Homo-oligomer: A and B are copies of this chain.
Amino acid sequence: MMKDRIRIGMVGGGDGAFIGAVHRMAARLDGEFQLVAGAFSADAERSRASGAALGIEPARAYADWQAMLSAEAQRADGIEAVVIVTPNHLHARVARDCLAAGVHVLCDKPLATTLDEARELARIARASACLFGVTYTYSGYPLVRHARALVAAGEIGEIRSVQVRYAQDWLSEAIETSGNKQAAWRSDPALAGEGGAIADIGTHAYHLARYVSGLDAQALLADLTNAVPGRRVDDNAHVLLRYANGARGMLWASQTSPGNANNLELAIYGSRGGLSWRQETPDELWFAPLGDNTRVIRRGDKSLSPAAVKATRVPMGHPEGYLEAFANLYADFAAAVHAYRAGERGANGAGASTFPTIEDGLDGMRFVHTALASSREGGVWLPLRP
């Protein structure tokens, strides 16, 4: 029998959108998904045009997500999952409706625009039988997964310090006022939420650090600024972190640092060794066992952990990148859908999944919320516990 691809619909991601196209490429790479429907734009005509360009049947290019959910529910071959790639302010509303319709959700981060909205959504998701994934892309990189495995195996000993940076430069000028659509909605609190860089990229950095270290921060202190005059959200974020075991962290997120394109770096230091990884050269992981030569671990090394091996497609020396990392989240999500089809339940909880879940999404919202609060109060320590 022919392989049965997972049928997905997309909300957002019409012509000109950045992240929608990324999701589609990621979904295609392994041939596990079939994009069969979409509400690509709030403008019905644009939605139809986008659908046509993507090879979607005209009838299944909908004017809005509610229409998509109800029409697809009538079809034997209706969608099983929805990918949400709208501007942030719609994430939670769309997701809630999908869950209500019994459709799995794969949602771009951030989960919502406020922590309260995220908490409400999490309550609904926990009560639902549907899967809920959040695309914290960077946890899809094979060597990030290997780093996590090394830390978990005690290879660097007790963690003492976490250093994470995420620097970009595309918002170094006020391009939101001169026609750049990506910049416009991302710097509009009504569409993006209150946070700027802290939410857009700081939350990625925070998730990455947590994913690899296995540590939950207990308190943070944030000093957020907007370097560009007139900008309504932060574009540079300095954050200090404190962990339960006494370890400390520093997190820097900036969208106004010329020379940085998408420069996400993580280094973690422990009592027995150190690890460092840079997203822009993702096929290398530097591992420094204390007192010995630093090793350059490469994606494809025979010695990699199973989680890293599973997440790699081509041999060492044949670079993989952002789309492959993204596709790894899709592959994990596909595996969960297949298990769901086979009658398995309960794979939805945090930690129970290889892909980031709504719990990770909620954790990210808590980080953003607390950082904004800390900075607003002048840069004070605030607890991160629920």
Contacts from A to B (Cβ < 8 Å) = 1-3, 5, 18, 21-22, 24-25, 28-31, 52-58, 156, 160-161, 163, 165, 168-170, 172-173, 221, 223, 225, 227, 236, 238, 240, 242, 246, 248-250, 252, 254, 256-263, 267, 269-274, 276, 279-283, 286-298, 300-303, 313-324, 378-379, 381
Closest-by-CB residue of B relative to A159 is: B227
Q: How many copies does the complex hold?
A: 4
**Out of B286, B319, B378, which one reaches A259, CB within 8 Å?**
B286
A2 touches B52 (CB 8 A): yes
A317 touches B168 (CB 8 A): yes
Extra inter-chain contacts (10) besides given A227-B271, A240-B379, A259-B274, CB under 8 Å: A3-B55, A28-B28, A28-B29, A221-B223, A223-B240, A238-B250, A258-B269, A258-B288, A260-B274, A261-B316
- Expressed in whole angstroms, the Cα–Cα distance for A252 and B1 within the complex equals 48
Secondary structure type dominating chain A contacts: loop
Residues of B within 8 A of A292 (CB): 303
Residues of B within 8 A of A249 (CB): 238
B161 touches A256 (CB 8 A): yes
Residues of B within 8 A of A221 (CB): 221, 223, 240, 379
A252 touches B254 (CB 8 A): no
- Expressed in whole angstroms, the Cα–Cα distance for A111 and B297 within the complex equals 35
B236 touches A238 (CB 8 A): no
A283 touches B283 (CB 8 A): no
- Expressed in whole angstroms, the Cα–Cα distance for A221 and B324 within the complex equals 40
Closest-by-CB residue of B relative to A21 is: B313
Residues of B within 8 A of A5 (CB): 55
A227 touches B161 (CB 8 A): yes
Q: Which of A249, A292, A297, A318 has the most CB of B within 10 A?
A: A318
- Expressed in whole angstroms, the Cα–Cα distance for A288 and B300 within the complex equals 15
